[in-house]
Amino acid sequence: MQTTYQMFTETIVPSDELIVSRTDLNGKITYANETFAQISGYEIDELIGKPHNIVRHPDMPHSVFKTLWETLERGEMWKGYVKNLRKDDGYYWVYAEVSGVYKEGVLVEYKSLRAPMDDEMKAKMQRIYDELKNKEENISRAVIYMQSDVVEKIEKLAHEKKRSPDDIINEILNDTLF
Ligand SMILES: Cc1cc2nc3c(=O)[nH]c(=O)nc-3n(C[C@H](O)[C@H](O)[C@H](O)COP(=O)(O)O)c2cc1C
C-alpha cells in the first residue's frame, strides 16, 4: 500500500512545452530536459542514470509497461497515456510517444516525448487503469477518509516503529482480517 494523503496533488503539464527524456536500452535515463525535471519535481542531475521507473506511479498497471517494452522490442513506436509520480508523491498525467533513437541504422537509445491530456481523458484512463489493476493484479484502489486523530496516531506509531504509515495500516488490516 502507498501513502495516499500526499498523492492527491496534481501538477498540470503546460501545453506549450514538451517533456523530453531519453534512456539507454535498459531504460536508464540518459537525458532529461528542464521541463521534465520541473514537472517531476527532480533536478536534472537526480534523473540522469536512474531507471525511468523513478517516476512510476502505483496506479499504473504492469501490463501497460510490458506492452510498451514489447512494442519497442519490435522496433515500433508505443503511444499511450501515463500517470507519473512526482518526487513529492504528487502526480501528473501525460500522453507519451516512446520510440527508438537510431544512429546509422543502429538502435542506440529510446526517447519519449510527452504532451498534456484533457481532464476527460485523465478521468477515463484512471477508470481503465483501475479496472486493469483489479483484473490483472487483484488490486483495488481505495480512498480512505480517517479522523485526523486516527491519522496522527498512525503517524506517531510509524515514527516510533521506524516504519511507513502504510506498513502500519497494512499491519492493522492484516491483524484484523486474517
Ligand atoms: C524512453 C522511455 C521513457 C519512459 N517513460 C516512462 C515514464 O514516464 N513513466 C514510467 O512509469 N515509465 C516510463 N518508462 C518505462 C519504464 O522504463 C518502466 O518500464 C516502467 O516505469 C515500469 O517499471 P517496472 O518495470 O519497474 O515495473 C519509459 C521507458 C522508456 C524506454
- 23 CA: nearest ligand 1 atom: 1
Residue nearest to atom 3 of ligand 1 (CA): 112
Q: 32-36, 76-80, 103-107, 142-146: which range is least confident on average?
A: 142-146
Separation of 166 CA from ligand 1 center, angstroms?
24
* Residue ID of nearest Cα to ligand 1 atom 27: 62
Residue-range domain boundaries for the chain: 19-137, 148-177
What percent of the chain has pLDDT above 70?
A: 97
C-alpha grid cell, residue 130 = 483501475
Pocket test for ligand 1, best of 52, 57, 95, 136 (most atoms within 8 A of CB): 52
For the sheet containing 91-103, what is the strand order? Answer: 29-32, 19-23, 106-115, 91-103, 78-85
Residue with CA nearest ligand 1 atom 29: 27
Class of domain 19-137: alpha beta
Distance 67 CA to ligand 1 centre (A): 11
Report if pTM > 0.95. no
The Cα angle at residue 142 between residues 178 and 140, in degrees rounded to 5: 70
pLDDT tens digits, one per residue of 62-114: 999 999 999 999 999 999 999 999 999 899 999 999 999 999 999 999 999 99
Q: Residue 32: which of 15, 50, 16, 13 has the closest Cα?
A: 50
- Radius of gyration from C-alpha coordinates of the chain: 18
Give the pLDDT mean for 53-68.
97
Phi, then psi, of 60 in degrees rounded to 5: -80, 125
pLDDT at 145: 85
